Amino acid sequence: MWGGRFAAGPASIMREINASIPFDKRLWKQDIAGSKAHVAMLAKQGIVSQDDAHAISAGLDTIAAEYEANGVPVNLDLEDIHMVTESRLAELIGPAAGRLHTARSRNDQVATDFRLWVRDAIDEVEAGLLGLQRALVARAEENADAVMPGFTHLQSAQPVTLGHHLMAYYEMVRRDRSRFADARARLNECPLGAAALAGTGFPTDRHMTAAALGFAKPTDNSLDSVSDRDFALDYLMAATQASLHLSRLAEEFIIWASQPFGFVNLPDAYSTGSSIMPQKRNPDAAELVRGHAGRIMGCMTALCVTMKGLPLAYSKDMQDDKPPVFEAHDLLGLSIAAMTGMIETVTFRTDRMRGLAESGFATATDLADWLVREGGIPFREAHHITGRAVAAAEAAAVPLDQLPLETLKDIDARIDDRIYAVLTVDASVASRQSHGGTAPAQVRARIADAKKELG
């Protein structure tokens, strides 16, 4: 394709290091769409004849059908998807194929294809995250009243509800979706027609190609158009953030599934057995989601490092932009699907959660708050009194709400029997009525809003 000024062909190692077709064949649909939009514009502007444009467009359709049926042939001599397609077009329609590459370069071509691909990838992720949100909301609604221990430092802190805990992940995923939506809006400008780096002398209509490909507008600087990979980085950064959330959720499932916790029974469908220990049921899917987050972050880092030192405009380093994005997308898709499946099918052992919530003196703050509210005692002093009550309960090996009133009165005479109404875990969660708090009424209100958000 470019051999005019060369006397010798490439060394075999050159052919190998240079070729991107083994991976960029994934861009074939976008490449065909970009070429069809380009040739339609060339014809309308009188840059190629209608007949040639028609032959080119029909040839591209034939190639698309071939790729669909048989896959893209990987020929390292032809380097990349752009050349593989153009060379097949030449086989199909003859020399007119050579007119397709008028007023463009592979630099703007690949930038366009890759933007289109990332845009489709974002739409797939969006659909996946929406499904995950629906699953979270459904399980949260079922468990809006189910009391569990809430943790700080992984120490039992205050009772919360399982519904509230699951809705925390709903909020994370909501932010993830908004990051992907931002990335999509920002990438939706079309670099096609920027040509190699400086624009073109042909009377092109870049607005026409941008519109045909569903972009909001053409990009405004030809150098930036061919050297920008922000859209790929935006995708990878959003993917990294989303994968961190999935990994934290996975981590909770791993802890919850362990015998000392026993908060969940993971479904068979997302567990594996051990070849040596028959009793085992391992949370492999969750562990792999946790592992994949590391790899996705690695993909993000790889592209950051590729881009950080590049002068304008295109450099071949940028060919390395695609593998990390493809890899991250595949890993993220698997992670979303696995966590959605687990959320939908996991058995929550709410009896066990309640039992642990009741055993960890988790209502100590409620006692302190009551002393402040009903006794007019400063919070610091109330905290101290409560600490002594916890010590007494610990010594007697009973939950706070089973301490005899005399014991409590010995600790502080201002305590009376009204205290028992606030020391149960149900009373504790029901009292947390602040906006966004764990009271079942608050959680149900958020769930109702979430359902509206999800449409």
* Residues forming the site for ligand ARG (CB under 6 A): 20, 24, 80, 106-107, 110, 314, 316, 318-319
For the bound state, the minimum distance from the C-beta of residue 111 to ligand ARG, rounded and expressed in Å, comes to: 8
Cβ-Cβ contacts under 8 Å for 334 (sequence gap 6 or more): 288, 292
Q: Strand, helix or coil at 387?
A: helix
Axis-axis angle for helices 284-308, 230-257 (nearest 10): 160
3-state secondary structure of 196: coil
Min dist. Cβ of residue 21 to ligand ARG (A): 8
Residue number, 27 or 343, with CB nearest to ligand ARG: 27
Q: Determine contact, residues 285/270, Cβ cutoff 8 Å.
A: yes
CB of 79 to ligand ARG, least distance (A): 6
Q: Annotated catalytic residue: which of 49, 258, 274, 359?
A: 274
Phi and psi at residue 156, in whole multiples of 5°?
-55, 125
The Cα–Cα gap between 127 and 122 comes to: 9
Peptide bond into 313 cis (omega under 30): yes
* Residue among 173 and 226 whose Cβ is closer to ligand ARG: 226
57 assigned to active site:
no
Give the nearer residue to ligand ARG in terms of CB position, either 316 or 380. Answer: 316
Q: Classify residue 398 by its DSSP letter.
A: -
In the complex with ligand ARG, which residue's Cβ is closer, 53 or 318?
Answer: 318
First-to-last CA distance in the chain?
A: 51
Which of the residues 153, 275, 434, 435 is marked catalytic? 153
Provide the 10 A C-beta neighbour count for residue 214. Answer: 12
User: If we measure between CA atoms, which residue out of 376, 110, 338 comes closest to residue 231?
Assistant: 110
274 annotated active-site: yes
**DSSP state letter for 272:** B
Q: Shortest distance, CB of residue 36 to ligand ARG, whole angstroms?
A: 19
Q: Of 114 and 348, which CB lies nearer to ligand ARG in the complex structure?
A: 114
Q: How far is the CB of 226 from ligand ARG (least distance, A)?
A: 9
Name which of 51, 61, 58, 45 is nearest 207 in CA terms: 45
Residues classed as catalytic: 153, 274
